[in-house]
Amino acid sequence: MAAAPVVMGIVNVTPDSFSDGGHHLTFQAAVAHGRRLLADGASIVDVGGESTRPGADRVPAAEEQERVLPVIAALAGDGAVVSVDTMRASTAAAAIAEGARIVNDVSGGLADPDLLPTVAPTGADVVLMHWRAHSRHMQDHAGYGDVVAEVLEELLARRDAAVSAGIAPERIILDPGLGFAKTPEHNWALLRRLDRFQDTGHRILVGASRKRFLGELLDERPPSGRDAATATISAWCALHGVWGVRTHEVRDQLDAIAVAAALSTPGRAPRSTVG
């Protein structure tokens, strides 16, 4: 089995994110939550100030930056590996200046054409997610003939754009974008063929945490009751060599990843890295 996936813990500094909107909106609450995620074993904290839930409206750049930059500075000051979840070049640049080492762009550089050339000279890694439209209209674009082939083709086009902008391939992480312009069956189809994404040679990040397709599978269970299902997907990702999983909760994910490692490696029963 390849190295176990890293866990990227989510810090939403927003009032309207689908799972935890408003829970960590203040500076103190967001920093405390980031520190809890790290204490639980997260390798990276991903700080975002703009909700990308289906139907969400955008916020002004100044408001996004007011939310995230102090939190990034505090967590990076602790020595944490911090990612900024943003589609804006200006926010990405400001976040890197405050210590962010990864730019997680859910639009893959499509929402702001300046983002990729802005990130290129900084040395920061970049997550390019598959994306077709902003949250308000994205489900209008959930049409595919072959979802795996089309998502992969569109992702590789964004990879090529990043390389053309001056970002070295080893700095690029690809994310199939579960839930973004996807139906539940599209999401399951992508998860069944993670090998196709692994074959690109890039690190792969999967963000399934508490998403709607899990709630639908579990008889419309609310987001707070989807962590066990999320952990099952984390184990699946581990078995497929995925580089990282982006989650709201850390301990159960690490436990599931440890079980996957034990099952896939004869004679090995690793201890959990948490408590």
- Name the DSSP letter for residue 2: P
- Closest to 187 measured CA to CA, from 167, 162, 226, 214: 214
Question: Cα–Cα distance between 177 and 106 in angstroms, integer?
Answer: 8
Residue carrying structure tokens 């690793």: 270
The structure tokens listed for 138 are 């994205």
C-beta atoms surrounding 169 within 10 Å: 12
Active site residues: 211, 246
Residue carrying structure tokens 């904290």: 45
Q: Looking at 115-252, which runs of residues are DSSP E strands?
A: 125-129, 172-175, 203-206, 244-247
DSSP, collapsed to helix, strand or coil, labels residue 125 as strand
The structure tokens listed for 202 are 């890039």
Question: Cα–Cα distance between 76 and 93 in angstroms, integer?
Answer: 15
The structure tokens listed for 141 are 């674009």
Question: Cα–Cα distance between 87 and 84 in angstroms, integer?
Answer: 9
CA–centroid distance for 178 within its chain: 10
Residue carrying structure tokens 């269970």: 221
